[in-house]
Amino acid sequence: MDLIHCCVRWPWKNFPTSKTSLFQKEERLRHYNPLPLTVPAFSNRMPAQCVFSRIEGKGKRSPPPPPGGAPAKLAAASPVASRKWRSSAHALRGAPRRAQTPGSVTYVQSNLPRRPVPRSPRLRPGGAARAPGAGRTARSHPGAATCPFSAKMALASGVRFAPRALLRPWSSPVELFHHDRYRHHEPPAPVHYEDKHVSVVKVWGGTEPSRYFLITARIHKWPSGILRLGGINGDDISEAPRVCPWARRWVQTASAGPAAALSTGAGPSLPLFLLLAEWVAVMKLRNPPVNALSLELLTELVISLEKLENDKTFRGIILTSDCPRVFCAGLDLTEICGRNPAHCAEYWKAMQELWLRMYLSSLVLVAAINGACPAGGCIIALSCDCRVLADNPKYRIGLNETLLGIIAPFWLKDTYVNTIGHRASEQALQLGSLFPPAEALQVGLVDQVVPEDQVQSTALSEMARWLAVPDHARQLTKNMMRKATADRLLRQRDADTQNFVSFVCRDSIQKSLQAYLEKLRQRKG
Ligand SMILES: CCCC/C=C\CC(=O)SCCNC(=O)CCNC(=O)[C@H](O)C(C)(C)COP(=O)(O)OP(=O)(O)OC[C@H]1O[C@@H](n2cnc3c(N)ncnc32)[C@H](O)[C@@H]1OP(=O)(O)O
């Protein structure tokens, strides 16, 4: 099992910045090898980014199609030929992966030996399909044997496993493999570490804060042999045991090892920001100070979502914030204050695109709302399938547009109505209500309110609940529920853009936005 950690950045330098539409940009990106270290030339801020990490799925999903595309009619025409195709795809999956795939998620190749690829569980001899997971054993779902969380997921998805395997110890010895995504050209610097529980065989990478790290741990006694951990330097290591309590002892021990090995002395200890179940990516919004939805962040979110959707080993994304106390402050007002109509149009198209992509995403999207979530931030959360909000009275959520003197577009209003109903939306939209957690829960704006330190773990449990449902059934149902709302925007996208531009470019609206922005700045002072 490989842990693959990706950070996609917008390759600014090679992209047109003016009137090129988002679609054209995306199209170009497909043929483009991302440059991970490129920083926007016009900005001295840290570039906005969303960071995600992933764990490769293990056999439940169909393998990726071989070059030339999947033989769509093959399965129907000939089960045997279809099986052959699948096994050739498995063989392909077992082949060494390239370090970078142009136009797709940038992979970091684990140096772990690849484990044998399990046969697809979905085809029986004769080609008849069977229920997902039915008849699989602990061997085909190895994590289930040792990790209660995986076991829960496995049970929920109908996986049977041998009782003996359940008793198998998960503990030491462990080998840790650590990759620094951005040091891929440097020779690895092996570090050796031994203790009772952990055996660090290799630690690769540097120590600078804000660099992204990968750890893949190998546990010999597991049937799969590998535990997946993701890390970002500077994150709180204590998050990991909360997310996956069974790993507490291991993580505590492990933290002493690589942290000691990597620490420069003053530098932070090696963090593990999440322990993840397979198939799940965590996206952290990182556009300090308040995660305002700048054009850059919107674009990056859209591209990242597309990449994750195209990567068939992902089934869900947990969306959360990397900025303290704020999930997302909504539209970046500096993108629409004092800008020309062309820029406003480009910005609004990016906003529409993000909403459409999120609202209709085939992946499960869970919002782990760990901060304030007004206006556009609330749109992001509402586009997810499930919302978990931290129980802090300062973290308010809602659509407060009217308080800024602006009006939510119809598709936003529709999303609100779909979530909390007509009457509640009518009231909340007109009053520009921002709900504190208890009220947000009561009105149905969020699905769970939990103590702040449990937001991530609850989001992960929610994810497990949603992933327990077969993908195709869930996706079709989601589409059935949401398509009409999305279609409404798709039908009048240009008109909506024109409305937005002519509205925000009005002098009176510009004045009121400027005044609001000024108020925000003064409030700080
Ligand atoms: C036409 C129809 C469109 C409809 C669709 C969407 C509408 C929108 O999304 S409009 C945006 C609405 N957003 C808000 O009203 C949120 C405003 N911000 C806040 O309330 C607070 O900043 C927040 C609670 C999010 C965080 O509070 P603090 O942690 O105390 O931070 P500060 O208030 O001190 O802000 C720090 C810094 O950020 C700037 N800021 C805040 N929000 C935005 C924003 N939306 N866009 C741009 N910049 C923003 C704020 O001015 C401060 O700037 P500096 O003083 O320069 O540091």
| Per-residue pLDDT tens digits for 218-235 | 333 333 333 334 443 333
Distance 96 CA to ligand 1 centre (A): 46
| Per-residue pLDDT tens digits for 369-380 | 999 999 999 999
Q: State the pLDDT at residue 326.
A: 97
Single-letter amino acid, residue 410: F
ipTM score here?
A: 0.98
43 close to ligand 1 (CB < 6 Angstrom): no
Instruction: Round the average pLDDT of the chain to a whole number and report it.
Output: 61
Q: Residue 368 — left, alpha, or beta (φ > 0 → left; ψ -120 to 50 → alpha)?
A: beta
Q: How confident is the model at residue 504 (pLDDT cuts 50, 70, 90)?
A: very high
Q: State the pLDDT at residue 383.
A: 98
176 close to ligand 1 (CB < 6 Angstrom): no
Contact between 261 and 255 under an 8 Å Cβ cutoff? The reply is: no
Tokens 């208890």, residue? 438
230 close to ligand 1 (CB < 6 Angstrom): no
Q: Residue 310 — left, alpha, or beta (φ > 0 → left; ψ -120 to 50 → alpha)?
A: alpha
Q: State the pLDDT at residue 434.
A: 98
Burial state string for 396-434 with b = 16 or more CB within 10 A and e = fewer than 16: bbbbbbeebebebbebbbbbbbbbbeeebbeebbeebbb
Distance 19 CA to ligand 1 centre (A): 26
Q: Is 400 marked active-site?
A: yes
Contact between 331 and 351 under an 8 Å Cβ cutoff? The reply is: yes
Q: State the pLDDT at residue 464.
A: 74
Answer yes or no: CATH 3.90.1300.10 is held by domain 272-522.
no
Q: How confident is the model at residue 449 (pLDDT cuts 50, 70, 90)?
A: very high
Contact between 4 and 181 under an 8 Å Cβ cutoff? The reply is: no
- The model's pTM is 0.59
CA distance 225 to 222: 4
219 close to ligand 1 (CB < 6 Angstrom): no
326 close to ligand 1 (CB < 6 Angstrom): yes
| Per-residue pLDDT tens digits for 90-127 | 332 333 333 322 222 222 222 222 333 333 333 233 33
| Per-residue pLDDT tens digits for 316-354 | 888 999 899 999 999 999 999 999 999 999 999 999 999
Please give the share of the chain, as a percent, with pLDDT higher than 90. Answer: 36
Q: State the pLDDT at residue 321.
A: 92
CA distance 8 to 99: 14
Comparing CA positions, the residue from 225, 2, 11, 183 lying closest to residue 97 is 2
Ligand 1 test: best mutation among 45, 285, 290, 395, most atoms within 8 Å of CB? 290
3-state secondary structure of 77: helix
The C-alpha angle 420, 421, 425, rounded to 5 degrees, equals 75
Contact between 437 and 393 under an 8 Å Cβ cutoff? The reply is: yes
Catalytic residue among 56, 306, 401, 462, which? 401
Q: How confident is the model at residue 366 (pLDDT cuts 50, 70, 90)?
A: very high
**Which residue's CA is the nearest one to ligand 1's atom 20?**
329
Q: How confident is the model at residue 480 (pLDDT cuts 50, 70, 90)?
A: very high
Q: How many CB atoms lie within 10 A of CB 306?
A: 19
DSSP string, 402-462: GGGT----HHHHHHHHHHH-HHHHHHHHHHT--B-HHHHHHHTS-SEEE-GGGHHHHHHHH
Q: How many CB atoms lie within 10 A of CB 299?
A: 23
Q: State the pLDDT at residue 465.
A: 84
Q: How confident is the model at residue 524 (pLDDT cuts 50, 70, 90)?
A: low
Please give the share of the chain, as a percent, with pLDDT higher than 70. Answer: 46
Q: State the pLDDT at residue 279.
A: 66
Q: Is 331 marked active-site?
A: yes
Q: Is 123 marked active-site?
A: no
Nearest atom within ligand 1 for CA of residue 325:
29
Backbone angles phi, psi at 80, to 5 degrees: -70, -50
